[in-house]
């Protein structure tokens, strides 16, 4: 087990050294996470403390990103906001991963009518843009952190179900899986010990890509006032609050917007790089340089599969 | 086929059919079927090596999977030591005695498992001690340092040996080897075949070897069964099948195999390619390609004729009284 962890760390270090886009994305994510987690250490300010005398100040040494309409330090709020945005997105994606692995594996492994029903249901979910789906679900389930996570998880899950199912189908009848069945091991053992570990190479990149998409949805819901509501410092809801000051105090929008942008792009680049690295078949004609452009263009959706598999 | 006296059948295939839908529709109904196995009856005798030979598309792999208990036939019975494999009543410890060796060593081992883990897993399933791993690996001529390696670090021949070791860990009574050498380097083929021969000789493991290469079948088998388009056309002692084939298809197969044709005087050329498994020709399924085709071959499917000593052939050329 420990050798496996050591090997993972070693591969990670090698990827950072060899792939500068991956390195840029990975380090950005790491920095944002560390800054958010250490928000209370880094910033002396309280993210909720109202200071009307110092409201709407531009960036200055005391307030590196300026202050907002209530005089709260914007940098502090961005750090604390990262906790909400990233933590909620990560929770939603993890939940979606659990749903995806459970439903996708059952669907792909057992096929038959179960697969048929599940896949038609997934078709229906996928026919809505995930953001619309998340808005509908969040409204339906009512306000709350848990319901927000559940709504986003459900909106994200169809993509993971599809990816997991396809991967399971591609290996379920391979001799090495069959051989284990011939030994008399049960389905649960086969799935947990052989099927799932062997599909992780497609699941991990997809999860990373789904992170970008989840951040976008969480922020959008916050912006629309359906997700996290002010005064809680969530990047999307901060944009919402700042809307009125767009013309006169653009820094109120630029900084949270920049954070959303940076996080999503980073996750997408990391996801794409992982996909190229982990799935030998996905290695493409597209060089590493244009991958950045692709990462931006794709906006956290699906893979380059169609482009890459032929040739 | 009448079982020969004194020989006990370990596997009995009784009129087995397996069709696959050719077109998958949403509602699961298909009008066209691939008739992969189209009425196969065959006995495998205890302790023998049976070669199942045929072109690709003849359904031999499907038969292998059916015998292994991996693919339920549409109709017909598959008995292993008297137990119906697909009835659910066969005890687990008996069913485990059927093991398989696969064609492609690249996918027959879990890429994430070390050799040690793979073999220990099998030993545990068989209720044996994992201390036996080393002996097992060594008995197949592998050195101990492969134990900590993953399949990616092994050669094709090594992988195939590990796959055999994994099967042996289950103490099998019946080994089904599906083209065990066709993906290997020429230099390692004979080694693998000799390992299988050795297993048959020293442990009495019954082996069914599926191959498209009559040379391999001749080298390995006690008996050979020749399959064409889902049906067995000729069965008999290996030597007889090679030297005195009675079915035109067998003759054609021998003529087209460089290694087997040296052992035999037969030389005929079949016409054209194997027919589609969806539109199997009426009458004798080989007649469109058969140089000896007669009028009756177009109309009626030939029964099995006993041409002596358990040698059976389904061809109208034998005339006389049909065996069944």
DSSP string, A226-271: SSS-TTS--HHHHHHHHGGGTTT-THHHHHHHHHHHHHHHHHHHHH
Residue B310's alpha-carbon distances to A65, B14, B237, B313, in angstroms, are: 93, 17, 8, 10
Closest CA to B243 of B214, B275, B220, B205: B214
CB contact under 8 A, A182 and B99: yes
Give alpha helix (H) positions in chain A.
2-18, 20-37, 39-42, 74-110, 112-126, 130-141, 145-172, 175-182, 187-190, 196-224, 235-242, 251-278, 288-298, 305-308
- Rounded CA-CA distance A100/A119 in Å is 12
pLDDT band for A34, please (50, 70, 90 cuts): very high
pLDDT at B320: 58
Give alpha helix (H) positions in B179-247.
186-203, 214-220, 238-243
Question: Which residue bears the tokens 């298809």?
Answer: B249
Residue A126 C-alpha, separation from nearest chain B C-alpha, in angstroms: 19
Buried b (16+ CB within 10 A) or exposed e, B44-67: bbebbbbbbbbbebbbbbbbbbbb
pLDDT band for A299, please (50, 70, 90 cuts): very low
CB contact under 8 A, B70 and A197: no
pLDDT at B126: 92
pLDDT at B3: 46
CB contact under 8 A, B104 and A175: yes
Each of the 324 residues of chain B gets a pLDDT tens digit; together they read: 444 455 789 999 999 999 988 766 656 566 788 889 999 999 999 999 999 999 888 889 999 999 999 899 999 999 999 899 998 888 888 899 999 999 998 899 999 899 999 999 999 999 999 899 999 999 999 999 999 998 989 999 999 999 999 999 999 999 999 999 888 888 889 999 999 999 999 999 999 999 998 889 999 999 999 999 999 999 999 999 998 888 999 998 888 887 777 777 777 777 777 777 888 888 898 988 888 888 888 888 898 988 888 899 998 888 755 544
- Rounded CA-CA distance B171/B206 in Å is 12
Q: What is the mean pLDDT of residues A122-130?
A: 92
Q: Which residues of B touch A180 (CB under 8 A)?
A: 110, 121
Q: Are B140 and B101 in contact (CB under 8 A)?
A: no
CB contact under 8 A, B126 and A178: no
Backbone φ, ψ for residue B38 (5° rounding): -125, 65
Q: Which residues of A touch B92 (CB under 8 A)?
A: 184
pLDDT at A311: 32
Structural domains of chain A sorted by starting position, each given as residue range(s) with its CATH number in brackets: 2-300 (1.10.3720.10)
Is residue A303 scored above 70 in pLDDT? no
Is residue A287 scored above 60 in pLDDT? no
pLDDT at A280: 59
CB contact under 8 A, A194 and B99: no
pLDDT at A244: 87
- Rounded CA-CA distance A268/A274 in Å is 10
If residue B122 lies in a helix (H) or strand (E), which one and from where to where? helix B115-125
Q: Which DSSP letter does residue B276 get?
A: P
Q: What is the mean pLDDT of residues A174-200?
A: 94
CB contact under 8 A, A184 and B109: no
CB contact under 8 A, B125 and A183: yes
- Rounded CA-CA distance B132/B138 in Å is 10
Q: Which of A40-49, A114-123, B23-32, B53-62 is most confident? A: A114-123
pLDDT at B26: 57
Is residue A173 scored above 70 in pLDDT? yes
pLDDT at A301: 40
Q: What's the pLDDT tens digit per position in A135-148?
A: 999 999 988 889 99
pLDDT at B193: 94
pLDDT at B28: 59
Backbone φ, ψ for residue B208 (5° rounding): -110, 115
pLDDT at B309: 80
Q: Which residues of A touch B98 (CB under 8 A)?
A: 182
Tell me the pTM.
Answer: 0.83
Q: What's the pLDDT tens digit per position in A219-262?
A: 999 999 888 888 889 999 999 988 888 888 888 899 999 999 99
pLDDT at A285: 39
Q: Which residues of A touch B170 (CB under 8 A)?
A: 182-183
Q: Does residue B55 sit in helix, strand or coil?
A: coil
Q: Which residues of B touch A179 (CB under 8 A)?
A: 100, 102, 108, 163, 166-167
Architecture of domain B9-260: 3-Layer(aba) Sandwich (3.40)
Nearest chain A residue to B110 by CA distance is A176
pLDDT band for A216, please (50, 70, 90 cuts): very high
């Amino acid at each position: 087990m420990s050798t496996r962890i050591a090997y993972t760390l070693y591969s990670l270090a090698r990827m950072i050294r060899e792939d500068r886009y991956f390195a840029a994305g990975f380090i950005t994510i790491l920095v944002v996470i560390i800054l958010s987690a250490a928000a209370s250490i880094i910033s002396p300010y309280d993210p909720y403390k109202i200071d009307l005398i110092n409201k709407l100040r531009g960036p200055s040494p005391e307030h590196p990103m300026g202050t907002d309409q209530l005089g709260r330090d914007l940098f502090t709020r961005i750090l604390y906001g990262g906790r909400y945005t990233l933590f909620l997105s990560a929770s939603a994606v993890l939940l979606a991963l659990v749903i995806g692995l459970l439903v996708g594996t059952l669907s792909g492994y057992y096929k038959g009518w179960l697969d048929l029903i599940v896949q038609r249901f997934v078709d229906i979910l996928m026919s809505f843009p995930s953001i619309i789906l998340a808005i509908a679900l969040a409204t339906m389930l009512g306000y709350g952190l848990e319901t927000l996570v559940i709504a986003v998880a459900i909106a994200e899950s169809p993509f993971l179900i599809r990816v997991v199912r396809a991967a399971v189908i591609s290996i379920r009848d391979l001799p090495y899986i069959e051989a284990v069945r011939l030994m008399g091991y049960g389905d649960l053992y086969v799935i947990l010990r052989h099927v799932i570990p062997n599909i992780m190479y497609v699941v991990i990149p997809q999860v990373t890509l789904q992170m970008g998409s989840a951040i976008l949805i969480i922020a959008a819901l916050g912006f629309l006032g359906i997700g996290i509501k002010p005064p809680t410092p969530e990047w999307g809801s901060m944009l919402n609050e700042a809307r009125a000051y767009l013309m006169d105090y653009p820094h109120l929008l630029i900084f949270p917007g920049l954070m959303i942008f940076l996080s999503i792009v980073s996750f997408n680049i990391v996801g794409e790089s992982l996909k190229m690295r982990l799935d030998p078949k996905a290695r493409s004609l597209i060089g590493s340089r244009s991958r950045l452009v692709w990462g931006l263009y794709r906006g956290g959706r699906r893979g380059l599969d169609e482009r890459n598999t032929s040739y | 086929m009448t079982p020969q006296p004194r020989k006990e059948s370990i596997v009995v295939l009784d009129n087995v059919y397996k069709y696959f839908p050719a077109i998958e529709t949403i509602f699961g109904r298909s009008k066209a079927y691939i008739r992969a196995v189209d009425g196969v009856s065959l006995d495998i005798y205890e302790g023998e090596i049976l070669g199942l030979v045929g072109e690709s598309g003849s359904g031999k792999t499907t038969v292998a999977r059916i015998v292994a208990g991996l693919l339920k036939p549409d109709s017909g019975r598959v008995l292993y030591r008297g137990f119906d494999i697909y009835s659910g009543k066969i005890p687990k410890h008996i069913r485990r005695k059927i093991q398989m060796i696969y064609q492609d060593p690249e996918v027959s081992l879990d890429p994430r498992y070390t050799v040690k883990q793979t073999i220990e897993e099998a030993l545990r399933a068989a209720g044996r001690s994992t201390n036996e791993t080393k002996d097992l690996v060594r008995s197949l001529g592998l050195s101990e340092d492969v134990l900590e390696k993953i399949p990616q670090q092994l050669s094709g021949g090594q992988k195939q040996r590990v796959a055999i070791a994994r099967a042996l860990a289950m103490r099998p009574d019946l080994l089904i080897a599906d083209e065990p050498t066709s993906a290997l380097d020429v230099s390692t083929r004979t080694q693998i075949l000799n390992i299988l021969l050795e297993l048959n000789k020293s442990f009495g493991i019954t082996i069914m070897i599926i191959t498209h290469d009559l040379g391999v079948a001749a080298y390995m088998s006690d008996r050979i069964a020749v399959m064409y388009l889902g049906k067995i056309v000729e069965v008999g002692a290996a030597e007889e099948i090679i030297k005195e084939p009675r079915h035109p298809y067998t003759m054609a197969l021998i003529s087209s195999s460089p290694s087997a044709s040296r052992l035999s005087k037969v030389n005929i050329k079949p016409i054209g390619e194997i027919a589609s498994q969806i539109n199997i020709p009426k009458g004798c399924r080989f007649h469109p390609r058969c140089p000896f085709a007669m009028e009756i071959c177009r109309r009626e499917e030939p029964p099995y004729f006993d041409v002596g000593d358990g040698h059976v052939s389904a061809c109208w050329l034998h005339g006389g009284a049909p065996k069944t």
